[in-house]
Chains A and B, each alone.
Chain A
Amino acid sequence: MKGKHMANWIDACGTDDIEEEDLIRFDHGDRTFAIYRSPDDEYFCTDGLCSHEKVHLADGLVMENVIECPKHNGQFDYRTGEAIRPPVCIDLNTYPVKVEGDRVFIEI
């Protein structure tokens, strides 16, 4: 997916590109991010790779406010990036998100 610059906000995806209670992967330059749509229809963004063994979180499972890594089942609160279930111990970085019209922007 290609992003286009708008100040330091990046146009990452459309609001409908992500199902409710799910996430997608967004690559920008040499970085990868995970963008989430919560059950309350809010959008969030974290690092795209698990802090444990660098697996793409986009293949994982969103359960309410939690993302579970597909490889070792470590869990993070994707709203804050907090590591909440071993084997993850290191928090994810989170990034500001805003929705304008039907587009989702992330600030990186």
Chain B
Amino acid sequence: MPKRDYSLTGASTKRALEIGLATADWYHSDISRKEIKALMKRHNGPAIWHTMLYYGLMFAFVATAIALWPSLWSAPLWLAYGVLYASGADSRWHECGHGTAFKTQWMNNVVYQVACFCLLRNPTIWRWSHARHHTDTIIVGRDPEIITMRPPDIAKVIALFFGWDSIQSFFKVFRYAISGVNADEATFIPEQERFKVKVVAQIWLLIFAATLVTAVTIGSMLPFLVLFGPVIFGSWHYVLTGLLQHTGMADNVIDHRLNSRTVYMNPVSRFVYWNMNYHVEHHMFPMIPYHRLPELHARIKHDLPEPNRSIPEALAEVFHALRVQLGNPEYRIQKALPETARPYRYDLHAEALGLTAAH
């Protein structure tokens, strides 16, 4: 297997294009048009209720934390606020970016923009990077959203739990505001969209400057605990759940059952994560709103590997895989399929895995 090149313009990109891994036809479990139409149908109700609850809780936590500040009693409230601010924003960014949370598109757009700001993810960059992630999921040289590369950088994985993703994004805001997109980003963002990257980055810098002025004026770090800062102490949950999506599974395959993971989770994590624990299902059918994913799972689980039963179980699997990949970058987890499932489609990506089609 050639050495992996994770840039979007390098040797792996060229290889993915040559062997048909890019913009490929992916495996889908069978489901009738009638059923999928019913599942795709949009409603505002669930997302409005969940969004009111989400922002209501954020407001309650931060208002109480400010009232108690600087007492240590405010710490748990800051932590709870931080998880909603950063990790809740990650799933809102995701679902509203797909446009599936609300039936009314302006609602998706408002929540998307707010979530992007919380995470300092440029809304244009990330809209397009995520489209590419769905086209070429975990295809090396094509997917800009691969979290852990091979061999993995464990220090980076640990740093992610403390907001490293957003810290990097913060510095990128300066680059976007001044020079716009780079060569990798230009591979997935159309030219007519690129000016938006710069405009939003400049607005965010103004907000950052205003926050800084406020903090200096009142002589307190409080403004940075409310804005920007929560990514440091609130990202851990989305990193935890995000790592479970694909890490340790195969790369360079075009069957989502091989490169994605579904994990049964507790209700609190599912609220924060907006049901993206049904990740194989989400990638196979990205049109299904988050609140219908449990139904989709029930409908097609006969064709999918057994889900992990909990976050700790899945996390143990992930870290075992990362540890093995330190010495053997080719290591991948392959889950057994139930007898009712159609076999894995090795023939779709045999060359990429260095296998024979009959494997």
Residues of chain A whose beta carbon lies under 8 Å from any beta carbon of chain B: 22, 52-54, 59-61, 63, 68, 70-73, 75, 85-87, 89
Give me 20 other A-B pairs in contact (C-beta within 8 A), A72-B134, A72-B286 excluded.
A53-B135, A60-B287, A61-B37, A61-B42, A61-B287, A68-B99, A68-B287, A70-B285, A70-B286, A71-B134, A71-B286, A72-B131, A73-B99, A73-B100, A73-B286, A73-B287, A75-B99, A85-B99, A86-B127, A87-B127
The residue in chain B whose Cβ has the minimal distance to the Cβ of A87 is B131
19 contacts between A and B (CB under 8 A): A52-B131, A54-B23, A59-B36, A61-B37, A61-B41, A61-B42, A63-B103, A68-B287, A70-B286, A70-B287, A71-B286, A72-B131, A72-B135, A72-B286, A75-B105, A86-B193, A87-B131, A89-B190, A89-B193
Is chain B's binding surface mostly helix, strand, loop or mixed? helix
List, in ascending order, chain A residues with CB within 8 A of B41's CB.
61
Q: How far is the CB of B98 from chain A (nearest CB, A)?
A: 5
| Residues 31 to 82 of chain B near chain A (Cβ within 8 Å) | 36-37, 40-42
Name the B residues within 8 Å of A59 (CB-CB). Answer: 36
On whether the beta carbons of A22 and B286 are closer than 8 Å, the reply is no
Task: Contact check, B286 vs A85: say whether CB atoms are below 8 A apart.
Answer: no
Q: Is there a chain A Cβ closer than 8 Å to B192's Cβ?
A: yes
Q: Which residue of B lies closest to A60 (CB)?
A: B287
Chain B's nearest CB lies how many Å from the CB of A11? 23
**B42 surroundings in chain A (CB, below 8 A):** 61, 63
Note all chain A residues with C-beta closer than 8 A to B164. Answer: none
Chain A residue with minimal CB distance to B105? A85
Q: Is B346 an interface residue (CB 8 A)?
A: no
A68-B40 Cα distance, complex, nearest whole Å? 10
Contact of B174 with A by CB under 8 A: no
B135 touches A71 (CB 8 A): yes
B37 is contacted by which of A22, A52, A87 (Cβ under 8 Å)? A22
CA distance A60 to B285 in the complex (A): 10
Residue in B closest to A24 when the chains form the complex, CB atoms:
B33
Q: Size range of the interface on B?
A: 20 to 34
Nearest to A52 among chain B residues (CB) is B131
In the docked arrangement, what's the CA distance between A63 and B40, Å? 10
B128 within 8 A of A: yes
Complex Cα gap A29–B287 (Å): 29
- Tell me which residues from 166 to 216 in chain B have a Cβ below 8 Å from any Cβ of chain A: 190, 192-193
**A86 partner residues in chain B, CB cutoff 8 A:** 127-128, 193
Specify which chain B residues have a CB less than 8 angstroms from the CB of A22 in the assembled complex: 37
Q: Which residues of B contact A68 (CB under 8 A)?
A: 99, 287
Measured CB to CB, the closest approach of chain A to B174, in angstroms, equals: 24
A103 to chain B, nearest CB (A): 22
Residues of B within 8 A of A87 (CB): 127-128, 131
Q: State the Cβ distance, A54 to closest chain B Cβ, in Å.
A: 7
Contacts of A52 in B (CB 8 A): 131
Chain B residues closer than 8 Å to A89, beta-carbon distance: 190, 192-193
CB distance from A55 to the nearest CB of B (A): 9
Contacts of A85 on B, CB cut-off 8 Å?
99, 105
The chain A residue sitting closest to B123, CB to CB, is A86
Closest CB of chain A to B142's CB: distance in Å?
A: 12
Identity of the chain A residue whose Cβ is nearest the Cβ of B127 in the assembled complex? A86
How far, in whole Å, are A89 and B190 apart by their CA atoms in the complex? Answer: 8
**Minimum distance in angstroms from A70 CB to a CB of chain B:** 5
* Complex: A53 Cα to B25 Cα, angstroms: 11
Distance to closest chain A CB from B3 (angstroms): 28
Interface residues of B in 271-304 (CB under 8 A from A): 285-287
- Closest B residue to A68 by beta carbon equals B287
In the bound assembly, the distance between CA atoms of A9 and B342 in angstroms comes to: 42
How far is the CB of A53 from the nearest CB of chain B, in Å? 6
Contacts of B128 in A (CB 8 A): 86-87
**Given the complex, which residues of A lie within 8 Å of B105, measured CB to CB?**
75, 85
When chains A and B are docked, how far (Å) is the Cα of A73 from the Cα of B105? 11
Minimal Cβ-Cβ distance residue in B for A54: B23
Query: In the assembly, what is the distance between CA of A43 and CA of B86, in Å?
Result: 45
Minimum Cβ distance to chain B for residue A86 (Å): 6
Q: What's the Cα separation between A22 and B33 when bound, in Å?
A: 10
A22 to B147, CA, bound (A): 38
B287 nearest CB neighbor, chain A only: A70
Cα A36 to Cα B23 with chains together (Å): 26
